[in-house]
């Protein structure tokens, strides 16, 4: 679906090079997406392009399930950790409301000590939890593992002094949700729907499963080629429970890159570097060597997003991955340009870098940090 013609720039992306696209319309981009999809053996790919803060193009290619039903612009797909960026944007609205300060300890918002809640009883005896702030939780620097069940004893712990390093943590994002719900009395899923989804016309987006999603729903395929059904998530999880469509996420990225609904101060705050990222890769989360190249591009953690400087200026982005999903949302701040790529494959990264570059030109994306290792297109 082409809404407006704009200039498309494309270039080589390592071994999965895409031919240059110079046409001022999207037909060549759509053809290139399909070529990459077939070459990468990805069942379904959905792409939204934003120019000057406006959603201008949505295209879907391939199948949404093992039966071969077509992926459409209205097919429900799993956003995975792009949920974190959505939650972060809502959080900045609360900052504007004066309900939240990013640098006030979460202890000040909770009616009782965090370890007194059964879910966080593991933290009893470690007073460092009192140092944790919303900024630390949203920049993955509270010291938590990604999820507690990754620990051998499956207990939650703090592995380093809060605020001193970056270590990706869904636990931290979910704790921030807990603070809002327990401390401020907010129902996060309902509030995000009221303040973001409804005003933006994101009618097929929700942080909790809806029965009306079942009619046009994407399943996913693992790296071994086995299909798995879409997971009907029954509870709101700020770390990753968003079901949505490529059209809706295109609308959201357009709003984000435009600063819609935020004061100028908050729109700037959420995509500034709150914490430099030194690690060579995003995963595994601990024990990684530092990469001095990160500092050269200003790689850092914003509020729920990753930030870096590239040939087109400041870029913010967020990925989302699991065994049957691989997604990216990439936005260029200065020109208000974005591309969102959703796949129903655990190895969508085979083609995502090429699609991002074809749609936006060279952004200097740190794909080596994002994906470890980077998977080439299979022969």
How much is the average pLDDT of 300-310? 98
Q: Where are the alpha helices (DSSP H) in the chain?
A: 27-40, 82-97, 134-138, 170-183, 188-192, 246-258, 264-269, 293-296, 352-360, 367-370
Number of H helices, E strands in the chain: 10, 12
Whole-angstrom distance, CA of residue 359 vs CA of residue 353: 10
Looking at every residue in the chain, the average pLDDT score rounds to: 93
SS3 content of the chain, % helix, strand, coil (to 5): 35, 20, 50
Between CA 340 and CA 31, with CA 47 as vertex, the angle to 5 degrees is: 140
Query: Is residue 35 exposed (0-12), middle (13-18) or buried (19+ Cβ within 10 Å)?
Result: middle
pLDDT at 36: 97
Looking only at the bridges linking them, the beta strands covering 275-276 and 243-244 are unpaired
How much is the average pLDDT of 290-304? 97
Whole-angstrom distance, CA of residue 175 vs CA of residue 197: 22
Q: Reply yes or no on domain 1-83+187-270+305-379 having CATH 3.40.50.2020.
A: no
Which tokens hold the place of 102?
């990013």
How much is the average pLDDT of 345-372? 96
* From 22-31, 246-255, 278-287, 342-351, the region with the lowest mean pLDDT: 22-31
User: 378 falls in which pLDDT band (50, 70, 90)?
Assistant: low
Judged against a pLDDT cut of 50, whether residue 242 lies above it is answered with yes
Q: Rg of the chain's alpha carbons, rounded to an integer?
A: 20
Q: Is 254 left (phi over 0), alpha (psi -120 to 50) or beta?
A: alpha
User: 66 falls in which pLDDT band (50, 70, 90)?
Assistant: very high
How much is the average pLDDT of 361-377? 91
- Residue 177 CB contacts under 8 Å (≥ 6 apart), including other chains: 87, 188, 236, 237, 238, 239
Judged against a pLDDT cut of 80, whether residue 52 lies above it is answered with yes
- Residue 312 has a CB neighbour count (10 Å cut-off) of 17
pLDDT at 25: 74
User: 13 falls in which pLDDT band (50, 70, 90)?
Assistant: very low
Judged against a pLDDT cut of 80, whether residue 19 lies above it is answered with no
Whole-angstrom distance, CA of residue 315 vs CA of residue 313: 6
Among residues 227, 248, 215, 208, which one has the least CA distance to residue 323?
227
Whole-angstrom distance, CA of residue 379 vs CA of residue 374: 15
* From 12-21, 37-46, 137-146, the region with the lowest mean pLDDT: 12-21
The angle, 0 to 180 degrees and rounded to 10, between the axes of the packed helices 352-360 and 27-40 is 170
Upstream peptide bond of 373 is cis (omega within 30 degrees of 0): yes
Encode pLDDT of 81-129 as tens digits: 999 999 999 999 999 999 999 999 999 999 999 999 999 999 999 999 9
- Which tops the pLDDT comparison, 65 or 7? 65
Whole-angstrom distance, CA of residue 244 vs CA of residue 78: 6
Encode pLDDT of 209-219 as tens digits: 999 999 999 99
Encode pLDDT of 266-283 as tens digits: 999 999 999 999 999 999
Among residues 344, 337, 336, 283, which one has the least CA distance to residue 79?
344
User: 14 falls in which pLDDT band (50, 70, 90)?
Assistant: very low
- Residue 179 has a CB neighbour count (10 Å cut-off) of 21
Which tokens hold the place of 273?
């570097």
Encode pLDDT of 129-170 as tens digits: 999 999 999 999 999 999 999 999 999 999 999 999 999 999
pLDDT at 375: 85
Upstream peptide bond of 284 is cis (omega within 30 degrees of 0): yes
Judged against a pLDDT cut of 80, whether residue 38 lies above it is answered with yes
Which tokens hold the place of 199?
């005003």
Whole-angstrom distance, CA of residue 108 vs CA of residue 92: 18
Query: Is residue 207 exposed (0-12), middle (13-18) or buried (19+ Cβ within 10 Å)?
Result: buried
pLDDT above 90 coverage of the chain, percent = 91
Between CA 94 and CA 240, with CA 178 as vertex, the angle to 5 degrees is: 85
DSSP 193: I
- Residue 80 CB contacts under 8 Å (≥ 6 apart), including other chains: 240, 242, 319, 320, 321, 322, 325, 327
Whole-angstrom distance, CA of residue 181 vs CA of residue 197: 19
Which tokens hold the place of 112?
């009782």
How much is the average pLDDT of 194-207? 98
């Amino acid at each position: 679906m082409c809404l407006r013609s704009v200039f498309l720039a494309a270039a080589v992306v390592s071994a999965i090079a895409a031919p240059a696209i110079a046409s001022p319309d999207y037909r060549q981009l759509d053809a290139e997406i399909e070529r990459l999809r077939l070459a990468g053996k990805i069942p379904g790919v959905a792409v939204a392009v934003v120019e000057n803060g406006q959603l201008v193009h949505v295209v879907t290619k391939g199948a949404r399930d093992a039966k071969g039903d077509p992926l459409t612009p209205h097919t429900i797909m799993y956003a995975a950790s792009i949920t974190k960026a959505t939650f972060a944007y809502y959080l900045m609205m609360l900052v504007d409301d004066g309900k939240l300060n990013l640098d006030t300890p979460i202890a000040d918002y909770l009616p009782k000590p965090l370890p007194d809640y059964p879910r966080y009883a593991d933290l009893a005896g470690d007073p460092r939890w009192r140092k944790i702030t919303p900024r630390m939780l949203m920049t993955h620097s509270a010291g938590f593992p990604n999820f507690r069940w990754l620990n051998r004893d499956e207990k939650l712990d703090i592995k380093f002094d809060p605020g001193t390093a970056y270590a990706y943590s869904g636990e931290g994002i979910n704790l921030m949700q807990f603070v809002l719900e327990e401390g401020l009395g907010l129902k996060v899923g309902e509030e995000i729907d009221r303040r973001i989804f409804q005003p933006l016309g994101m009618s097929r987006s929700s942080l909790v499963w809806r029965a009306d999603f079942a009619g046009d729903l994407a399943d996913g395929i693992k790296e071994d080629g086995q299909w798995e059904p879409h997971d009907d998530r029954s509870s709101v999880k700020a770390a990753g429970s968003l079901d949505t469509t490529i059209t809706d996420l295109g609308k959201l990225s357009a709003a984000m890159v435009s600063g819609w609904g935020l004061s100028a101060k908050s729109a700037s705050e959420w995509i500034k570097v709150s914490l430099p990222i030194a690690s060579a890769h995003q995963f595994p989360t601990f024990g990684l060597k530092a990469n001095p190249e990160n500092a050269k591009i200003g790689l850092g953690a914003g509020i729920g997003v990753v930030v870096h400087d590239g040939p087109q200026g400041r870029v913010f982005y967020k990925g989302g991955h699991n065994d049957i999903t691989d997604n990216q949302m990439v936005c260029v701040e200065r020109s208000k340009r974005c591309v969102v790529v959703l796949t129903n494959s655990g190895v969508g990264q085979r083609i995502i870098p090429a699609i991002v570059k074809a749609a936006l030109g060279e952004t200097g994306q740190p794909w080596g940090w994002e994906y470890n290792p980077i998977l080439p297109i299979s022969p």
